[in-house]
């Protein structure tokens, strides 16, 4: 299977994200698919907030030190 890179928009095109260099990230196909499996169509700010909530939940349950 041949690997190829894809352009991933940090702010979705459906949410008026532009195809500018600062809004694009090149990812390998498999990593791009994993990104969408984990984060669906969240934009970067939403992902950061989601990860902060996960971190806080783990702290409260004693999962992280």
Q: Do residues 64 and 55 lie in contact, with contact meaning Cβ atoms separated by under 8 Å?
A: yes
pLDDT tens figures, 36-45? 999 998 988 8
The closest alpha carbon to 19, from 30, 27, 11, belongs to 11
Q: Is a pLDDT exceeding 90 seen at residue 3?
A: no
What pLDDT was estimated at residue 23? Answer: 87
What pLDDT was estimated at residue 54? Answer: 93
Q: Say whether pTM exceeds 0.85.
A: no
pLDDT tens figures, 11-35? 887 777 888 998 888 999 999 999 9
Q: Is a pLDDT exceeding 80 seen at residue 51?
A: yes
């Amino acid at each position: 299977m041949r690997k190829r890179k894809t352009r991933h928009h940090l702010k979705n095109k459906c949410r008026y994200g532009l195809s500018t260099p600062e809004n694009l990230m090149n990812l390998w196909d498999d990593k791009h698919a994993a990104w969408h499996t984990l984060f669906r169509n969240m934009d970067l700010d939403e992902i950061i907030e989601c990860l902060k909530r996960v971190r806080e939940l783990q702290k409260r349950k004693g999962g992280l030190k």
